[in-house]
């Protein structure tokens, strides 16, 4: 007798679909088969049963200085994730100047532990501080790996940005240690030039956020970092891709045999620059970096995920309150804190406009949102429905129609750039390591039930 059996569902993995029962013992999947007996049974006839979503790019309590902190903390963010069918998230550690890796880790861990309601790992940021003394970079990488963190964020923009030599050395150190570098690829110098010119010309409208960040410069930055990774023979993932030129850079590198991967996010699949023309602060809500683009680019992102030119749909979830967006807008487009909420709508939206519309197979949906992010980021017990894997399971109603609204979403910012978006398909139940977190729109988890996942490396066979 198993602890829990989900009966009669359509089980979808990245490589197969079967009609079967799935049984859980303790925290793990114990069996997949017919007529499995459970102390507790859930009927999933007519439903899809999929691995819990894995969102390998989220910002929780991101501190941009002073009062500018992203609005979802570790409880509100992970609870919203669970409502949306995501059971593993990866936020960031940014070690400040003069702080050891261990200190930075413990500080962030204290923010998360006791509050998270899904499992989590971390990305470690390698900033310019890592190059301020001999041996510092190597020590940072070694100490990070010892803490179970195998993914490292390298910025080509903002105050954390690395110059070419630092970028090369960071890629090299991470690659040699068996980790994965994840990249924010933009050309900061040219963006700064164009922003300064626009500001000097008196431009303030949010639409200038996109105009000062030409797609072709983003592609140039991505091509540069991929050239380095190719030379060093180390894997690399480009984050938040929203235009065809960057997707083509990834696809071309992969054709050459490079272990290059690309992530896109719902904002690039559902929003266009038209959103900047919304009234008042609503035109500031969709400001994020890299920016959302034209309708043609939006459609190109759907084609790219269907063609495997891009491999992951994560979120870059990073909303700020209406007040913070308003204060930024009052100073001009360049001061609007960047980021949108997408954590809760990700799984259902990709199903609806990808699978239900006939563009993607259900397996591809699971690959993009669950299996590939888990495997690429070293979560070796996540993203797959099979005995021995964590019992992170989502029961999904493929027929339920609903409309996205800030009023019913659980993210804390109180707005969504997807207001009114109609979806077919909804998360019904989210299970984390055998425990119900949400069911039928109700939260039934416990604050703090999520666990830090210590990772030991990424899959070296990945391509």
Query: Of the candidates 21, 297, 316, 392, which one interacts with Zn ion according to CB under 5 A?
Result: 316
What are the residues whose beta carbons fall under 8 Å from the beta carbon of 315, sequence distance 6 or more? 55, 57, 58, 265, 266, 342, 343, 346
Residue 318 engages ligand DUC in binding (rule: CB under 6 A): yes
- Min dist. Cβ of residue 116 to ligand DUC (A): 20
**Does residue number 184 form part of the binding site for ligand DUC (CB under 6 A)?**
yes
Out of 7, 79, 115, 184, point to the residue binding Zn ion (CB under 5 A): 184
Q: In whole angstroms, what is the distance from residue 5 CA to residue 2 CA?
A: 7
For residue 248, what are the contacts with CB-CB under 8 A and spacing of at least 6? 219, 309
284 binds ligand DUC per the rule CB under 6 A: no
For 213-356, strand residue ranges (E) read 236-238, 260-264, 312-313
Least distance (Å) from ligand DUC to the CB of residue 289? 4
**What is the rounded distance in angstroms from the CA atom of residue 36 to the CA atom of residue 89?**
31
Closest CA to 268 of 284, 250, 282, 289: 289
Hey, what are 326's tokens? 């308003």
Distance of CA 198 to the CA centre of its chain: 31
Nearest to Zn ion of 184, 410 (CB atom): 184
Three-state secondary-structure class, residue 71: coil
Which of residues 20 and 182 has its CB atom nearest to ligand DUC in the complex?
A: 182
Contacts of ligand DUC in 43-82 (CB under 6 A): 59
Give yes or no for residue 36 binding ligand DUC (CB under 6 A). no
Give the residue closest to ligand DUC by C-beta.
Answer: 338
CA separation for the pair 173, 396 (Å, rounded): 41
Kindly indicate which of the ranges 180-188, 371-379, 406-414, 432-440 contains the residues binding Zn ion, using the contact rule CB under 5 A: 180-188
Q: Does 237 engage in binding with Zn ion (CB under 5 A)?
A: no
298 close to 267: Cβ distance less than 8 angstroms: no
Choose the one of Zn ion, ligand DUC, none that binds residue 266, judging by a C-beta under 5 to 8 angstroms depending on kind.
none
Sole binder of ligand DUC in the list 88, 258, 289, 430 (CB under 6 A): 289
Q: Does 123 bind ligand DUC (CB under 6 A)?
A: no
**Of 50 and 247, CB closest to ligand DUC:** 247
Interacting residues toward ligand DUC by CB under 6 A: 59, 184, 288-289, 316, 318, 338-339
């Amino acid at each position: 007798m198993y602890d829990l059996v989900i009966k009669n569902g359509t089980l979808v993995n990245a490589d197969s679909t079967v009609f079967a029962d799935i049984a859980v013992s303790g925290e793990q999947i114990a069996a997949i088969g017919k007529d499995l007996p459970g102390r507790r049974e859930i009927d999933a006839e007519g439903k899809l049963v999929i691995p819990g979503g894995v969102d390998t790019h989220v910002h929780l309590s991101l501190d941009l200085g002073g009062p500018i902190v992203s609005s979802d903390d570790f409880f509100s963010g992970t609870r919203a994730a669970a409502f949306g069918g995501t059971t593993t998230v990866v936020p960031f550690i940014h070690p400040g100047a003069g702080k050891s890796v261990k200190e930075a880790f413990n500080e962030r861990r204290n923010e998360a532990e006791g509050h998270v309601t899904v499992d989590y790992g971390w990305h470690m940021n390698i900033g310019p501080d890592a190059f301020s003394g001999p041996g510092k970079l190597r020590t940072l990488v070694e100490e990070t790996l010892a803490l179970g963190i195998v993914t490292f964020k390298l910025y080509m923009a903002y105050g954390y940005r690395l110059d070419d030599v630092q970028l090369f050395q960071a890629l090299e150190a991470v690659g040699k240690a068996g980790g994965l570098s994840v990249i924010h690829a933009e050309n900061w110098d040219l963006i700064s030039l164009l922003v300064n010119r626009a500001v000097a010309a008196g431009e303030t409208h949010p639409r200038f956020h996109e105009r000062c960040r030409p797609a072709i410069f983003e592609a140039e930055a991505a091509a540069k970092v991929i050239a380095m990774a190719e030379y060093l023979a180390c894997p690399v993932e480009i984050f938040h891709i929203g235009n065809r030129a960057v997707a083509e850079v990834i696809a071309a590198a992969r054709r050459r045999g490079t272990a290059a991967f690309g992530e896109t996010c719902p904002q690039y699949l559902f929003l266009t620059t038209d959103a900047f023309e919304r009234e008042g602060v609503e035109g500031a809500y969709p400001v994020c970096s890299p920016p959302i683009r034209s309708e043609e680019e939006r459609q190109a992102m759907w084609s790219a995920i269907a063609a495997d030119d891009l491999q992951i749909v994560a979120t870059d979830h990073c909303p700020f309150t209406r007040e913070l967006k308003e204060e930024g807008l009052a100073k001009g487009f360049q001061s609007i804190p960047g980021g949108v909420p997408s954590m809760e709508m990700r799984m259902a939206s990709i199903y609806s406009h990808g699978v239900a519309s006939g563009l993607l197979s259900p397996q591809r949906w699971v690959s993009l949102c669950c299996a590939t992010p888990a495997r690429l980021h070293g979560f070796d017990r996540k993203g797959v429905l099979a005995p021995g894997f964590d019992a992170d399971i989502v029961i999904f109603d493929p027929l339920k129609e609903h409309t996205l609204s800030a009023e019913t979403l659980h993210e804390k910012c109180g707005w969504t750039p997807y207001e009114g978006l109609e979806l077919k398909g909804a998360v019904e139940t989210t299970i984390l390591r055998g425990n119900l977190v949400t069911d039928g729109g109700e939260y039934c988890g416990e604050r703090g039930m999520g666990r830090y996942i210590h990772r030991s490396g990424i899959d070296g066979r990945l391509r």
